[in-house]
Each structure stands twice: as C-alpha cells, then as structure tokens.
Structure 1
Amino acid sequence: MYRRILAVAGAALLAGAAVLVASTSASAANILSNPGLESGTLSPWSCSGNLGSVVTTPVHSGSRALQGAASAADNAKCTQTVAVQANTAYTLTAWVRGGSGYVYLGVTGGNQVWNPSAASNWVQLSVAYTTGASQTSLQIFVQGWYGTGTYYADDFSLDGPGGNPSPSPTTSAPPGVPGTPGTPSVTGTTASSISLSWSASSGTVTGYRVYEGTTVRATVTGTTATISGLGACASHTYTVAAYNNSGESAKSGATTGSTTGCTSTGAMAAPYYYNGWGSPPSITTVMSATGIKQFTMAFMLSGGGCTPAWDSSRPLTGGVDQQTINAVRAAGGDVEISFGGWSGNKLGPNCSSATALAAAYQQVISAYNLKYIDIDIENTDEFENEAVQDRILGALKIVKANNPGIKTIVTFGTSTTGPTYYGTRLINQAAALGANIDVFTIMPFDFGGGADMYNNTVNAANGLKNALKTAFGWTDAQAYAHLGISGMNGYSDQSEITTTAIWTNIRNWANTNHIARLAFWSVNRDRGCAGGGVQESCSGIAQSDWAFTSITAGFTG
C-alpha cells in the first residue's frame, strides 16, 4: 500500500439536485421566515461580512431576492436558524443563480449541494436532512464561493413541522426579543487579544453577549468587543447574541480569529511509521540513531462500520501498534496517529455523522491519551467527497471542544502551485465551520513535481500559505505557523526523486519560515537501495540508513 495522491485539476460537478426524502409529518409546511425576501429587509437572515442585501432584480418570483456579494476573502454566507422537531425529516429548497455557478445550499452540520448550470439561469437546489434525537433547532445556509462573484437566491423553503410548543408559559419564548445580530468580523488582533465588530440587531437592545461555544467571553452595550487574555498564535471562534428584558436573540453566524505571536515549537517533526508492510524497523533503533522524538503512526481505519482499528485488521490496543507507541514513549518521544490514507476502508465514509465520527476519533484519543491526531484525507471516498469532508471537519470541531489542548492536523494532496479545488474547499470549509484545525499539511509528491522537487515543493507550500491567508485573514507568519509539509523520500510513484540534499533544503526552508510540521512517507523506506525505484522498505536511491529521519530531526519550526 502506497500513500499516493492524485493532483486534481477541477471539481467533480454535481449536475443536479439531490433526491429527497419527504417529511412523513402531516404538519409539513415552510417554516422559514422571509423566505422570498419580500419584506424588503434581510431579517432574520444574517450574512457574513455584511455582504448580503435585498435586490429587485434579478428575481425568481415576486419582487425581491437575496444577493450575496462574494469576494476573494468572504463567501457571503447567509444563514437563518429555525426551531424544529427531533427525529424528523425536512426538505430544504431554494432557487439560485450567478456566482459563476458556485452557489451552495445546505444545512449547517448536514449536507450541501450546488449546481454549476446555475451560472446564468435560475436553478432549484434541494437538500434532505433528518434532525437528531434531541435537536430543537437547525441552521440553513446559502453561500457563494471565494472570488467567483455575486450570487442570487430566492424562494427558500424548509418543508417540515416547526418546533414543538413549549410545555408551559414559563418556558415559552417571550415577545420583544431582539433580532439576530450580524455575523461578527475580526477587526484587529494582538498576541493576547482579538477585536470584533458586528452589525446591530433589530428591535430594542440592552446589550450584546459574545460567545465562544456556550461560554460568554464579553458583554457590551455597543457593537464592538475585544476579547483579551488569550494565548499567542491561537484560533478562537465567536458568535454574538443580543439581549433585553424580554430575553436573548438567536446567535449570529460564527467567525474565527487568531492571535499573533506565532512561532512553531518544533514538536511536529514527525515522519510516518507503518506496521503494515515494509519490514518495519526497530523504532528505538531509529530514535537512537537520529535523535527523532516524534512519529506519525499509520493508519487508523474502520474495523467495521464506525469502529476504529489499525489497518482495519489489527486491534486498537494490545497489538504491535501499541507496543510501538509504548516503546516511543518509553524512549522519551511521542506519536501522532494518522487516520485514513490513500486506500483501505476508512472511518469518514463509514460513520454516519460528525458526532459518530468524533466518537470514533475519541476512542483512539482516549486509548492512547493523544496530544495530536492527523487526518490524512485522500482519494474520492474522503477528499473528493464534499459530504465526507464536512463530516470530518465537523468531527474535528467536536474533538477540539472535548479535548482542550489537542492539536488537530489535516493532510491532503496538492498541485505544484498549491491546493487544488478540493484542497481549497477543505480549507474554506474549515474556516466557515469554525473547525479550529491547527495544521494544514500538504503532500508535495505525485503532483507533477518532476526534476525540481525543491522549488515545486516551496511553490506548493506558498500556495497553501496564501489559501490560508485568504480563508482566515491571517498574516504570512500566522499562515506559516499553521502549515505543514509531508514529502516522500527517494522515489515517488510518479518517479519524482527527492534526494537527501533536496530534503535538507526543504527542511531549511521550513525552519526559516517557521512552519508547524515536517513529515515524510516513510521511515520504513528510509534505507538505501540505489536504482530500486519505488519500494516499501527502501527509498530507491543511494543513501545511508535513516538519513531522511536525521534531516527531519533537525526541524525546529
């Protein structure tokens, strides 16, 4: 099994609307407010970056429609949150056009669809969603795509029963609650603070509460706030709610900001080690010979359904993989565990929801008391499956909330100039969902790198840096501090050759720019076999044993 990745040049187009499951409830109805924007105002819609507006042309029906002015830095995501019933099927529809065909309709935490033929014509999009066992509200959204221009949407419908009436007057929502504030924007950052601003709520407002998850971080009377006392180079996701004597509004859309002061700790010099093939070497011998302290252990897959197992066949604990991890830790090192890879039966497609996938990740985290997890998202079953991408990001968001201090990594393929369509989508969705990913790692091999693997790797890494800046509003230093490189030592599947000299130059560039992670595939292959081509247990080139690992051990971030 080789850890391969194909550079994808374009999107796989979803040519039509999804087949829907209609609600079985006899009380189905459109429960959205202002579904055709005929009120002439956005309320209760909330649009990121204040980029939403109501227009009179073009419209699908009636006299008004929603316009989203997507820019290079903001996808103009517009949301509405409604009360729903648990364990109930809903159908979301809307008519969209413009945005170069990149107009998305979906349910936050659920599926989304798009249709490229909507570039110049009105096209109806549809999404089916079934609420969870205790779910009482859901958020629907429409959005454009970064840099693809203005989109339009009209005649929204969320078909299904509204939320159950409250059991008593004491728990019913009182009248006079303010409208939902606009999604906040990050207006400034320091090494210990993030400043926010947002558009005012409608109605009578006493003040605003700034939330991080369910915790109130600030209470203010105006429409700006600064959250202080934060750690350097840390990401935080905030929402805002307005309140008065009648109660509190729905929360705004979420925004993510990061403090400055980014420097890499060097803790993520972590080449991949695999017990599945390639004559796995003694890991303590490698540590002693090279000084390496961290490894990325591959691969955690599905042992059947949503149950994790090493390579789908070895037990989660008690086997050779646990013995390897115990040996690394006994020698003063630590491990990242990598989920996924190019082939095999993976957890992402097998787990039915973000919550279920997060629970599978948690089994592994708890079994090994992990400080890092790496989601190696590849191939058409995960990387090129937008629903699975979103499921993985949703699961990692849950993992971060439940495991303070854990570092989450996503690893994916690239082109020679940076992320492909699916890589860019993964980054932008991570920002939109507030997934709080710590490190985005590209794999610059099997990507058309040819004979110039150093410059093509650097170009790809700088393309990733620029994509992170666009998605998160980061500086160069902040973006580099969230960036990783995972190469392939020696011969790749496309006969690209990374020599020890090239890898040394890549390592030096990584240190100069203070990136977060440096890895390669794999320690098993870190042995010489000149002229050997692609092998499981050697690099295919002339080298001393463990040379690439020794070079990687010099990564300081």
Structure 2
Amino acid sequence: MERPRLLAVLVTAALAAGGLAATVQVSQAADSDLAHNGGFESGLDGWSCTAGSGAVVSAPVHGGSSALEATPAGSDYAQCAQTVTVKPGSAYTLSAWVQGSYVYLGAAGTGTTDVSTWTQSAGSWQQLRTSFTTGPATTSVRIYTHGWYGTGAYEADDVSLVGPGGDPVQLPATPGRPATGAITSGSVALSWAAVPGATGYTVYRDGAKDLSVNGTSATITGLAASTAYSFQVTATNSAGESAKSAAVTASTAASGGGGGGAGVLPAHALVGYLHSSFANGSGYTRMADVPDSWDVIDLAFGEPTSATSGDVRFSLCPAAECPGVESVADFKAAIKAKQAAGKKVLISIGGQNGQVQLTTTAARDTFVSSVSKIIDDYGLDGLDIDFEGHSLSLDTGDKDFRNPTTPVVVNLISALKTLKAKYGAGFVLTMAPETFFVQLGYQYYGSGPFGGQDPRAGAYLPVINALRDDLTLLHVQDYNSGSIMGLDNQYHSMGGADFHIAMTDMLLTGFPVAGDQSRMFAPLRPDQVAIGLPASTNAGNGYTSTADVNTALNCLTRKTDCGSYTTHGSWPDLRGLMAWSINWDLFSNQEFSRNFDAYFGG
C-alpha cells in the first residue's frame, strides 16, 4: 500500500499448429437415461439438497405430477445433486426443465472438463442442456441443479442424463471420528478424513441430520453458547449412506465474543493505516494525535528481515526521517490510551515492499513467534495481513481453493490459526488483499486450464476461505487494481460507485471460482466486510469522491442509488470502510473520516 502502483494482468495464449490431433475413444455401449427419479415422482429419493433447501411440489410441474422446488437462503444456493454411475471414455447428454431466476444445471467430476449451463430468468419452463465426455478412469459423475444467493425459489423437473450405464457402485465405508477446529459461541468447525468412493458427507448433530457437504470439512452454525454438542459424519454416494462415525463432543464458547473477534468492533467501523515505521509525503502522525474517528488503527508496517525467513520486525520511524516522532515509551502509552477509549490497534504485516513467503514450516514457526513478540511488546489487539505481490502464489497443484497444497498458502493458514488460538476470541484478525488476489478469482484461479492467467490471480481465496470463521474483517483494496469483472459479467472501473458496489456484492453474494459452478466461494457475513479506499487523491489510483462513496453505501446497505449494477441483496450490517491511510486523510483535512462520521452518525 505504501506507494501507488497498477497491477497488470498478462494473458497469453499458445496456439498449437501443424497436424496435432486428439483422438478420444468413446464407448459404444447402449444409451439410457441414468438419472434416478429425474421427474421427482418419488419425492427426493436419490437427490441430496444442501441445507434442506429442496422440496417436492405438485405445482408448477413440467411433466408428471411432481417437480423439485429449492429455495436459496443465507449463504446456501440450494444445490440439489445426485451421483450417477457412468462408463469411462463415454459421451453423455444432461438436460432438465427449469423455472426461476439464475438457475444452473451442471455435471462435476467428469474426468475431463466439468460442464454447466444456466438461465438468468425463466418465467416459464425452459430446457437447459449440456454434454460432456467422461475421462479414461471416470466411473461416476455428480449432476446438480442450483439457484443463486439472494434469489427466490426455483423449480426443476424431468432431469435426464443420457448415455451408457456403468458398473454398480459400492456403499462407502464409515468415516473416522471427526476432529474439531475453530469454536465460537455459535459455531463449531469439523473436519474428517476422506473416504474412498464417497461423493458427499452428511453431518449429524446430537443424532439428527444437520447438513450435507461435498468436501471433508464443515462449520455447524446456529448453536447456543456454552452448550455441549455431539457430532457424527456419514459418507454417501449413489449406492446410499454409510453408518455414522464415532461421535466427537464439543462445547461452544460463552456468548459475547463474536466469531473472529467481530463482536469487539462497533456496528460500523472505520479502519485506517498509520505510517508508523516510514516517512512519505503525507507527514508523520503521532499515535496520540490519531483522531477519534478511527476505530481500528493498523500500524504500518511490520516487515520481514528477508522474504523467506518468516522473521518480522517492527520499529518506529527514525527521527531523521520523521521529525516529531515520539519515544517508544510514549508510543506504547498512547496505544493504551486508544484502547481505553475502545479503539483496536493492530500490527499490519507486509505492504508493497514487505514480501513474506512462508515456504517452510520453520519459516511459519518463526513468523508466529516474531509476530507474537511484536503483539506482546506493544500490547496490541491483533494482526492485519497486507501481503501483496509475490507473497502468495499458486502452483499447478492448487486447482481447488478449498484444498490448497502450495506451501506458502498452507503455512500462512496454519500460522494465522495458531495465532488466533493463542490469543483467543478477542483477537482481531483482518486482511487487506488487492482485488487482483480476490475478485479476479471469479474469472481465473491458478494457471493452465484457466487461460494462462498470472497464477497469483485469486490467490487469497484459499486463505480467506480457510479462516472465514476466525476472520474479523476483510477489507479488499478497491484501488490500484485496474478494471475487474463483476457478477453481471461486465467490467467495472475503479474510482466510481459501481466498482465498489460490484466488488462488495461479490464478497457478500459469493461466486463461482474460475467460472466453475461446482467450486463456489461462499459469501462472507456483512459484519466481516469493509470497503478499502484511498483517503485522498494522493493516496493511490482509484480515489473515489465522498459522493460516490455514499452512493455505494446507499446501494449496499439500503438498496437505493444502485445505478447500473443490481446487487443480490442489501446488507445494513456492512461493517464499514478502510482507508489508506490515516496520514493521508489528515493531509486532506480529514475529508474521508468526516464523511464516514456524517454518514453513520459519528
């Protein structure tokens, strides 16, 4: 964040020429309709709908006497799916009749290219159709239909998968006992080992079915504080459901802390970076002189001693560079005074010049110990991650943001979870990635089959996803980024209200990663999201006028003044704004913070 810069997205395409041809051996076995109960005449037999979102209705129907009606709610997009046995190297046609807004039909696990198709608005029955060829070792695929966050119910009927049938599928084995992860006053995170042949898992709470998932982890929400719960897991595939695993018992925390430290902030918070360790044209600001408008003060920056050591140090700006800098003792005393007034003071790690790559577990452990030393020495409330540039990267192994394997990503997640566990529920954890590393994941993630895009595009997604239950705030830098595509599949240019509306809507609505409907990035809670902006025209490319800031807030919190972009909901609990920086705001006569106070009533 220290100096403005533009991130260029370089897309290259290598075109093969000169007689190369691919030969696909396709099975000639007799074709039949393999979808079980595709007309829903036998209720939901054979189908599994997320979060209990699906029901069978007698009207409207396309054929027969029944149809599926599924209703998205909250962070769930009402996916109903079944796993079908298929033959390797064979051609299949998938179709369904649907009604509603933003209705999707697709197939996952094909072994070649997973496919999906959708309709934005089907006021009456409309047929969706797509096709695929299975890979040389593929024996089952998952077919699904789903809606979209923030939309109404959709209907589906006469789902059909036509192609050669495969060999019978065996019932999966019983999963091992699940392990607990992050626990808050209202949620428990669980994980378990994968079961061969399983295509999904069901979590039971106190013996009753709670939710179904496709992966090997889940967070159970809506729990009562200070209460013990028992959890079991079963494995499922097209043959049925395994026996329940051994139970694990977990007790929720006492109420009042809030997940990820969210409850320690005001309903609407203003976050700002304080140039504590360096000088630039904005001038030095003493901690004691930070105006009361700022609820979270990020000390910029803790910087590494080398890119890969994991060792992070923090010191005040030298007096020769920053005339008027206070003593360390006065700085610490001012931090305590801010905290006594209800403010949170964090150490921010990284910045434009502070490259951190935790390539080894040794670097991870050094990162944890050195950051802990800073937090303890200055009596801070938490940590802000401002990794930019090459601090995060992906390799060809990280095609699924939900299961990262790249060491720098895995080690960062582990380090942050360790720090959260060490300091407890009140620990404030925030992140300030650039849009390139988050929202650009809607188009690209990783490299190779996603168009040769810079492999860092969307690289923050696995970190955010893994830490969503621990994360207090995500304030993406909506600047220094260039144009980014929104959920309307239109490019939006930074500096205007539409850019902030579109980028924030993506975080609060969720989106398919790299266009893959089977890999959805689930929405964050509105209290976890703040909009990142330059505080003045001097602070970065993408400065937004106060009028446009207010227009964006009106649209996102009240669904008024939305202009050309239609959001998927309204979020009055949106946490607030982040600014680079407190120093630049003071340099510009506090225009940014004064506007925030006026909008949210001080």
SS in 1 for 2:594: helix
Alignment of 1:24-423 (within 5 A): 33-34=35-36, 36-37=38-39, 39=41, 41-47=43-49, 50=53, 52-54=55-57, 59=62, 63=64, 66-68=67-69, 77-82=78-83, 93-95=94-96, 97-100=98-101, 102-103=103-104, 105=106, 107=108, 113-116=116-119, 119=122, 121-125=126-130, 140-144=144-148, 146-147=150-151, 150-152=154-156, 154-157=158-161, 161=166, 164-165=169-170, 208-210=208-210, 227-230=223-226, 264-266=263-265, 271=273, 283-285=314-316, 288=328, 291=335, 293-298=345-350, 310=356, 317=363, 325=371, 328-329=374-375, 330-333=377-380, 334-339=382-387, 346-347=393-394, 351-354=398-401, 355-356=403-404, 360-366=408-414, 369-371=418-420, 372=429, 374=431, 376=433, 378-379=435-436, 382-383=439-440, 385=442, 388=445, 396-399=464-467, 409=474, 411=476, 413=478, 416=497, 420-421=501-502, 423=504
What SS does the corresponding residue of 1:504 show, helix, strand or coil?
helix
Match of 2:505 among 415, 420, 424: 424
How far 1:37 sits from its partner (Å)? 1.5
Q: Deviation per CA, 1:296-322, whole angstroms, max 9, x where unpaired? A: 334699xxxxxx974899x9959x999
**8 Å contact kept, 1:376–1:412:** yes
Q: CA deviation at 1:77?
A: 1.4
**8 Å contact from structure 1 (residues 211, 240) kept in 2:** no
Cα distance in 1 for residues equivalent to 2:279 and 2:169:
56
User: Number of residues paired by the alignment?
Assistant: 424
Contact 1:416 1:456 in 2 (8 A): yes
Q: Show structure 2 runs of 5+ residues with no match.
A: 9-22, 176-183, 189-205, 246-252, 282-299, 303-313, 318-325, 336-343, 421-428, 446-456, 479-493, 513-519, 535-540
In 2, the alpha carbon distance for the partners of 1:158 and 1:259 equals 53
For the structure 1 residues 37 and 381, does the alpha-carbon distance in structure 2 shift closer, same or farther, using more than 3 Å as the test?
Answer: same
Q: Distance in 2 between matches of 1:408 and 1:332?
A: 20
Cα offset, 1:450, TM superposition: 2.5
Work out the CA distance in 2 between the residues paired with 1:248 and 1:104. 30
The one-letter code of the counterpart of 1:353 is D
State how far apart, in whole Å, the 2-side matches of 1:381 and 1:281 are.
Answer: 22
Q: Is the 8 A contact 1:69 1:150 kept in 2?
A: yes
Distance 1:381 1:338, change over 3 A: closer
Partner of 1:184: none
Task: State how far apart, in whole Å, the 1-side matches of 2:442 and 2:67 are.
Answer: 28
Note the 1:446-525 alignment, pairs <5 A.
449-452=544-547, 455-456=550-551, 458-459=553-554, 462=557, 479-480=573-574, 483-489=575-581, 499-505=588-594, 508=597
Deviation at 1:285, TM superposition (A): 1.7
Partner residue, 2:341: none
List runs of 5+ in structure 1 lacking aligned partners: 7-20, 174-189, 195-205, 219-224, 232-236, 251-257, 302-307, 514-557
Deviation at 1:131, TM superposition (A): 12
The structural deviation recorded for 1:39 is 2.5
SS at 1:99's partner residue?
A: strand
* Amino acid across the alignment from 1:157: L
Give TM-score scaled by structure 1 length: 0.50
